[in-house]
Amino acid sequence: MTKIVADLDRCVGAGQCVLTDPEGFDQSEEDGTVVVLQDTPADDEALKRARGAVEICPSRALSLTE
Amino acid sequence: MTAPALQTTRRCPYAPPEQHTRIRDTDPGISQVTLPGGQVAWALSRLEHIRAMLTDPRFSSDRRNPNFPRFTRERPGRQPLLQTMIQLDPPEHGPARKAVVGEFTVRRMAGLRPRIQEIVDEQIDAMLAGPRPADLVQALSLPVPSLVICEQLGVPYHDHDFFQTRSATLLSRALTAQDRQQALTGLRDYLRDLIAKKAAEPTDDLLGRQLAQGNDPEDVLSLAFLLLFAGHETTANMISLGVVTLLERPEELAALREDPARTLPAIEELLRVYTIAEFANARVAVADVEIGGVTIRAGDPVLALSTAANHDPSAFDEADEIKLDRGARNHVAFGFGIHQCLGQNLARMELQIVFDTLFRRIPTLRLATPADKLRYKDDALIYGIHEVPVTWEESA
């Protein structure tokens, strides 16, 4: 099962994951860091969006694990 | 062999300098160039190399390093008058960014939408009530981002001439060390007074909230300077370049008018094509690093030829074509890595509201000077256009 992992220490709150996949990601009110809303993509479409978010993340805070 | 001088003049407004594409298209895509002050720097030109460099902690953003790339003839290794977060490496950078990033989340930006819409409508009302042709730069491009950032920070807009002229001075390539010092000192003193007033009488705005959170007033001053400076010329120039591009493409503009969902992808493409902050992604190596088979040594200055990278054919199909529906967001127009533009989502929203509103409200808008006769900013560190005369039919 593919899982989305977020490294909050690396995250700089650019919000690019939220723009890419608003259903999968949000940002914390306090410091803007990523909040993973769905840590296991439900289908291929969700997985594709998650991959897009990982690719676009400027601080490399997001990754996918099997 | 001496490294050739860095070229900064574009072939056309959206085509990178010929030197940059030649470096990119010749293996290994990395070459040495000489900067105006005489420094020899590595120039990276491929998207993959630049993204790797900008996410590698062995490349530093610290301007106090005497080898940091300089685009003007100023002296190296000076203690900067204002040390902002873009000049900090980890571990100092993270806390500085996290102290403010909550003010720039996607949700916070969406909350600003109604007020930005009002500002845009008021500026268009004023332009329509004034003489034709009007200069779009003064009527819309500059005042919109200026008003927005002033309100967000809590800086009185009636002072905007003061900091706008100083921001523009700091972006000139012809800047002398003395001009720079004067502009910086003026801005610093202005902001220091403003922050002292806010410390004495708390205000509910970004700067006031930073003070209320207990942040050091000198750190709030650096932040104020960075946001004010970065919030002005950048979005303003993208508005001007975008309007000119869209007016030159009436069929595509008609498609945008019919379907506003096309506006955001179009903005992304305009950002990619123009890459207005083309040299902002400069760094200095603090360890030996290999990129693309080239060893960059500790202490070497490194430039990113960002426009060439955003036109890299290995990253974008038909990279030199403007395809407004391309939908690619992996460009480096806002940088990449931990310093990626804090205000990027604000910029996107401002551009979206401006384009949608302007072309809806003034369907007869047209250039009063042909696009190829406009004065483009090959003389400034942020690319753009000096004036954009526009006109429209009376009934608009």
User: Which ipTM was obtained for this model?
Assistant: 0.95
CB contact under 8 A, A28 and B102: yes
Distances (CA, A) of B298 to B40, B82, B122, B283: 14, 25, 52, 11
Return the SS3 of B31.
strand
As a whole number, mean pLDDT of residues B181-198 equals 92
pLDDT per residue over B366-384, tens digit each? 999 999 999 999 888 899 9
pLDDT at A32 over 90: yes
C-alpha torsion angle, residues B19, B322, A17, B240 (rounded to 10): 90
Considering only CB atoms, which chain B residues are within 8 Å of A20? 329
What φ, ψ does residue B57 adopt, rounded to 5°? -65, -10
Considering only CB atoms, which chain A residues are within 8 Å of B101? 12-13, 31-33
Distances (CA, A) of B140 to A32, B115, B120: 30, 15, 8
Per DSSP, B52 falls in state: H
pLDDT per residue over B334-363, tens digit each? 999 999 999 999 999 999 999 999 999 999
Distance from CA of B343 to the nearest CA of A (A): 9
Higher-pLDDT residue of B106 and B75 is: B106
pLDDT at B396 over 60: no
Distance from CA of A13 to the nearest CA of B (A): 6
Q: What is the pLDDT of residue B76?
A: 54
Contact (CB, 8 A) for B95 and B198: no
Q: What is the pLDDT of residue B79?
A: 60
The span from the CA of B190 to the CA of B200, in Å, is 16
Considering only CB atoms, which chain A residues are within 8 Å of B105? 13, 15, 18, 27, 29, 32
pLDDT at B153 over 90: yes
CB contact under 8 A, B340 and A27: no
Considering only CB atoms, which chain B residues are within 8 Å of A30? 102
The span from the CA of A27 to the CA of B106, in Å, is 8
The span from the CA of B54 to the CA of B104, in Å, is 21
Distance from CA of A51 to the nearest CA of B (A): 13
Count contacts between A and B (CB, < 8 Å). 64
- Helix ranges (H only) for A1-66 are 16-20, 44-56
pLDDT at B300 over 60: yes
- B78 falls in which pLDDT band (50, 70, 90)? low
Residues 6+ apart with CB under 8 A from B211: B195, B198, B199, B202, B217, B220
